[in-house]
Amino acid sequence: MPAPRKIEMEHQLEPSTEVRLLVEPSWCAGASCNATAAIDFEGRSLCLDHFLPACIHELEARNELLRNLPFDAAATEEFKAFVTNCAQQAEKLAAKLEEGTAEDLNEDSRLTRAQAKTSLLDFLLRISRLTQQIRRSPRVTSSIAVWLRREDPHQTWHEETWTVSTSRHGAALLCRRPVEKGGTVVLCRKDKGSRATAQVVYSRRDDEGRKQIGIEFCDPVDFWDRG
């Protein structure tokens, strides 16, 4: 599996990797693999078994880099184009499998045709979720006091906390309570009393060892009065 791509210069990412279906049959470049290759990825011909995990690894690594750098509109758009390209190639391959014209599976492949279609659908679902996590606006370092509430049949709690940074579409918050990625929370501003529902997009420790969560609002709202 390829390692995450490195940053060429501070706050910059390398150009997007080319992803395309192979026209001419060839052997997979994966270690000890005798299957027929289906997709060219990073200049390597890979079968479906090797392409899907390699592509997911690359997508998640790039997304994590973008989320931890100052917002860069050009880099974000380039990443979106890369995600779209990956999805389009996967959809084309799924269509070829459906038509029975794909040459990517043979007796040496670990996947049956039905399993391959299922794997591609799962892959497209993960891409869809990843797309929802892409940051869409710059973060502004700010400290705004809020009430944070988790409403769940098995886990309901609330705590007073504050933001580390905010953006038009969400924020980074300190949070002492357990909350999983994908969970729903309610924010209430202490200064104005305005409320909004948001989804947790990450949960991790910051450089000072404090637990920090990233949230994205479920509905369009100017919650931080950014105009």
DSSP letters of 106-154? -TT-SS-HHHHHHHHHHHHHHHHHHHHHS--S--EE---EEEEEE--TT
Average pLDDT over residues 113-139: 74
Distance (Å, whole) CA 58 – CA 172: 24
Q: Hey, which of 9-18, 83-92, 191-200 has the most confident mean pLDDT? A: 191-200
More confident residue, 88 or 68: 88
Cβ neighbours, 10 Å, residue 216: 18
pTM: 0.48
Average pLDDT over residues 140-165: 84
Cα angle 62-186-162, degrees, rounded to a multiple of 5: 75
99, burial (CB in 10 Å: exposed 0-12, middle 13-18, buried 19+)? exposed
pLDDT for 82: 83
Residue 178 carries which DSSP code?
-
Q: In order of start, what are the domains of the chain with their CATH numbers? A: 19-133 (no CATH), 140-217 (2.40.10.220)
pLDDT for 219: 87
Residue 177 clears pLDDT 50, i.e. is over it:
yes
Give the SS3 label for residue 44.
Answer: strand
Distances 31 to 42, 47, 52, 106 between C-alpha atoms, Å: 15, 11, 15, 17
Q: Residue 74, Cα to own-chain centre: how many angstroms?
A: 17
Please give the helix or strand (H or E) that residue 54 lies within, else none: helix 48-67
* Res. 99 pLDDT band, cuts 50 70 90: confident
Residue 33 near residue 105, CB atoms below 8 Å: no
Give the SS3 label for residue 99.
Answer: helix
pLDDT for 148: 94
To the nearest whole percent, how much of the chain has pLDDT over 90? 10
